[in-house]
Amino acid sequence: MSTRTTYKPAIASAVIIANMIGTGVFTSLGYQLLDIKSGFVLIMLWVVGGITALCGALTYAELGAALPRSGGEYNFLSRIYHPSVGFISGWVSATIGFAAPVSLAAITFGSYLSAAIPGLNAKWLAVTLIVIVTIAHTGRRKRSSNFQSIFTAVKISLIVGFCVLCWIMVKEVQPVHFVPVTGDGGLMLSGAFAVSLIYVNYAYTGWNSVTYLINEVDDAQRNLPRILISSTLTVMVLYVALNFTFLLVAPMDALEGKVEVGYIAAQHVFGATGASAISFVLSLLLISTVSAMTIAGPRVLQVIGEDFALFGRLAQKNEDGIPSLAIYVQSGIALLFVMVSSFQSILLFSGFVLSLNTLFAVFGIFVLRRRQPDLPRPYRTWLYPLPPLIFLALTLWSLIYIAKSQPQEALFAAALVALGAGCYFAARRYNEMVK
């Protein structure tokens, strides 16, 4: 008899929160300050990004409840459009969607920890973290669940504690306007805002992560909407608080163009010694991010392996239902990114490609309702069709500006899609041969 267990709703929420709170919120403010110097507009970036993520979560809640199978966009797009579209989406998720963010979170972990303890090599710290987390999640599910829940709880507590300490201990707050002033309206409609929004949307990436392991969530059709919505709202509040804190305590000039914005903010509040301690603490936050993406991402490879014999070994699971080989493959790709790519190139490219993935999935709710109006839907998107329309409008706006200002990102995305299409036709042909 199988002893397989499932992830409880609290663990599933921990996976989402840990997936979302990671590299983006601790690094992207420095890039946003290159073009935007208004405190109000910078905070609104995170509010708009949160609304976008919430609208996406409301839409995914209906899709996940109506099409309950692990795999995220791979499952949705295969069922809504065509298996080829789903495969390409899964290909993107498997090669970029999770491996790239894992590498970014690990690199950020290495950067913060090496700042706290001089002499440590940031790159090898990133490699070590990925290896340890991989080992933790390829064994028993109970060990995996405990690892995730503990580090997510630590993450939330440390963020709240960091913000409160900064508010209490800062000697001089910065002259930043957090209420709108003349010119802010035009700035929010500018290309700079749209481009900055891609960084913010990347920081919110992960709100959909639980849909990658629907089959492993306890009573998923009933619990999924609550998990998605509550987790996204929690992260939105934490993101606004963090960026408010960074801007309140550190000069914009000091943060501009920098990756380790949390460390710089801590320097201005706690001094060099205190900043080193805070940097060490902030590095710990990235552990649960790498952990959560190591749980969710390989489930895409797993379901691809279930559907295509060419990749059948990726569907192999251990006695506790965990796809160990798929986890090893994703971690291997992440390690490759750490060793050969720059931080900013990974961030821009993966942010662009991931936005394309969710764009097609959210649009799919209109297609699914039209084609299968009688499909059982345990949950229907609240205020439909507003949430998917808002998500599509904001995401498209940001993608168009990125394609104009960074055309190489669009070209790389097109090349990745073309390669995925080639793999799909090869895999389908192999399926036909072995039948």
Q: What pLDDT, in 10s, does the model give residues 377-402?
A: 888 888 999 999 999 998 888 888 77
**Omega cis (within 30) before 385:** yes
Q: Which pair of tokens denotes residue 287?
A: 């552990």
Residue 207: phi and psi, rounded to 5, are: -60, -20
Most confident of 125-134, 258-267, 305-314: 125-134
- What distance in Å separates the CA atoms of residue 294 and residue 1, rounded to the nearest whole number? 28
As a whole number of angstroms, the distance between CA 112 and CA 284 comes to 9
Q: CA 138, CA 328: separation in Å to the nearest integer?
A: 8
Separation of alpha carbons 31 and 34, rounded Å: 5
The winner for highest mean pLDDT among 65-69, 166-170, 289-293 is 166-170
pLDDT at position 385? 94
Residues 23-56 as b or e (16 or more Cβ within 10 Å = b): bbbbbbbbbbbeebebbbbbbbbbebbbbbbbbb
Looking at residue 95, what DSSP letter applies? I
What is the band of 3 on the pLDDT scale with cuts at 50, 70, 90? very low
Mean pLDDT, residues 363-381: 92
State residue 382's pLDDT score. 86
Pairwise pLDDT comparison (74 vs 389), residue with the higher score: 389
Instruction: List the domains of the chain with CATH numbers.
Output: 9-434 (1.20.1740.10)
Is pLDDT of 195 > 90?
no
More confident residue, 241 or 17: 241
Nearest by Cα to 258 from 279, 288, 234: 279
CB 403 within 8 Å of CB 410: yes
Rounded Cα distance, 165 and 66, in Å? 44
* pTM (2 d.p.): 0.79
- Token representation of residue 401: 């500006």
CA dist 160 to 135, 239, 243, Å? Answer: 29, 10, 12
| Cα gap 21→209, rounded to integer Å | 12
Question: Residue 420's pLDDT is what?
Answer: 85
Stretch 286-305: mean pLDDT = 80
Rounded Cα distance, 95 and 301, in Å:
10
Is the confidence at residue 343, as pLDDT, over 70? Answer: no
Number of C-beta neighbours around residue 221 at 10 A: 16
Confidence band for 304, pLDDT divided at 50, 70 and 90: confident
Q: Which of 134-148, 161-175, 186-200, 319-333 has the highest mean pLDDT?
A: 161-175
pLDDT at 1: 36
Check residue 400 and give its pLDDT.
Answer: 84
**Mean pLDDT value of segment 60-78:** 85
63 has a pLDDT exceeding 70: yes
The reported pLDDT for the residue numbered 221 is 66
Most confident listed range (6-15, 107-116, 366-375)? 366-375
**% of the chain surpassing 90 pLDDT:** 20
Report the pLDDT averaged over residues 324-338.
Answer: 89
Q: Flag the least confident range among 21-25, 39-43, 337-341, 387-391.
A: 21-25
65 vs 133: CA distance, rounded Å: 30
96 DSSP 8-state letter: I
pLDDT digits over 90-130, tens only? 888 777 777 888 888 888 888 888 888 888 888 899 999 99
Cα four-point dihedral sign 347, 335, 105, 138: positive
Tell me, what's the pLDDT at 417? 84
Query: Which of 73-87, 134-148, 405-419 shows the lowest mean pLDDT across its residues?
Result: 134-148
pLDDT, residue 2, reads 41
Quickly state the pLDDT bin for 42 (edges 50, 70, 90).
Answer: very high
Do 249 and 265 contact (CB within 8 A), yes or no?
yes
The closest of 165, 177, 187, 181 to 245, measured between CA atoms, is 165
Residue 118, classed as helix, strand or coil, is coil
Give me the pLDDT at residue 391, please.
94
pLDDT of residue 435: 66
pLDDT of residue 220: 64
Average pLDDT over residues 168-182: 88
What's the rounded Cα separation, in Å, for the pair 387 and 385?
6
| CA distances from residue 104 to 25, 83, 170, 173 in whole angstroms, order as listed | 12, 30, 30, 31
The rounded distance, in Å, linking the Cα atoms of 74 and 71 is 5
Q: Which residues contact 186 (CB under 8 A, 6 or more apart)?
A: none
Residue 248 has pLDDT above 90, yes or no: yes
Residue 150 has pLDDT above 90, yes or no: no
- The predicted pLDDT at position 117 comes to 86
C-beta separation of 185 from 38 below 8 A: no
Q: Biggest alpha carbon distance in the chain?
A: 72
pLDDT above 70: percentage of residues in the chain: 90
Mean pLDDT, the chain, rounded, equals 83
Tokens of 326: 């798929």
